[in-house]
Amino acid sequence: DSGVTQTPKHLITATGQRVTLRCSPRSGDLSVYWYQQSLDQGLQFLIQYYNGEERAKGNILERFSAQQFPDLHSELNLSSLELGDSALYFCASSPQTGGGDGYTFGSGTRLTVV
Amino acid sequence: AQTVTQSQPEMSVQEAETVTLSCTYDTSENNYYLFWYKQPPSRQMILVIRQEAYKQQNATENRFSVNFQKAAKSFSLKISDSQLGDTAMYFCAFMKHGSWGKLQFGAGTQVVVTP
């Protein structure tokens, strides 16, 4: 157990639907990162939050949004889902905002859009 | 923009032998970090080793060591005394200092350790 908890582990949904992925960071970590892992795009950085504030944005679609709550857990919302959104979504956390020490990943949420 | 290239899609090694994975990156930055992450069949991403660009000494973690060649922009990973549990996908990753922790990953190298 890495200490980073992601729920659910698996999610199957239909095109056009909306889903929410949840992440609880490791105790004491203030930064949360979201990544998407797909066969064609590999591992792609989506977005980062530090202590409730968005700090960096990567290749995140406008249909996707995220937030970090006062208790530091984070949610990634995916809407108007398309087949191409099927992927493994990782959350990771680190104590500080820089991430230079490397960060700890959760076990991921496997999203399948049918 | 930074790019990370792993030119070996798959490598096979026997138990107790040594295998070296290559990684090259392209950047104009001088201050950055490099990482190797491991993703076993459980799909968990596990940090194997990290290197700070301003440190000339190569990082080591038990059986894992790197050969960091800053001028050549090369960051290879050596796994010594390979074990069955080392079977995994290995990703090289680059992080620019001050980038709020954004990691740029390579495509990965699948390592298969055989008995």
The residue type of A111 is L
Which chain A residue lies closest to B99 (C-alpha atoms)?
Answer: A98
How near does any CA of chain A get to the CA of B92, in Å? Answer: 11
Structural contact between residues B100 and A98, judged by C-beta atoms closer than 8 angstroms = yes
CB contact (8 A) between residue A99 and residue B107:
no
Give 10-residue mean pLDDT values along chain A (114 residues): 93 98 95 94 94 92 96 97 97 83 92 98
C-alpha separations of B3 from B12, B23, B28 in Å = 25, 10, 11
The residue type of A94 is S
Residue range B28-87, pLDDT digits in tens:
999 999 999 999 999 999 999 999 999 889 999 999 999 999 999 999 999 999 999 999
Which chain A residue lies closest to B48 (C-alpha atoms)?
Answer: A102
Integer Cα distance of B17 and B14 in angstroms: 6
C-alpha separations of A103 from A48, A112, B16, B94 in Å = 12, 26, 29, 13
Integer Cα distance of B89 and A31 in angstroms: 25
| Residue B1, pLDDT above cutoff 70 | no
Structural contact between residues B107 and B39, judged by C-beta atoms closer than 8 angstroms = no
Q: Which residues of A94-114 are buried (b: 16+ CB within 10 A; e: fewer)?
A: beebbbbebbbbbbbbbbebe
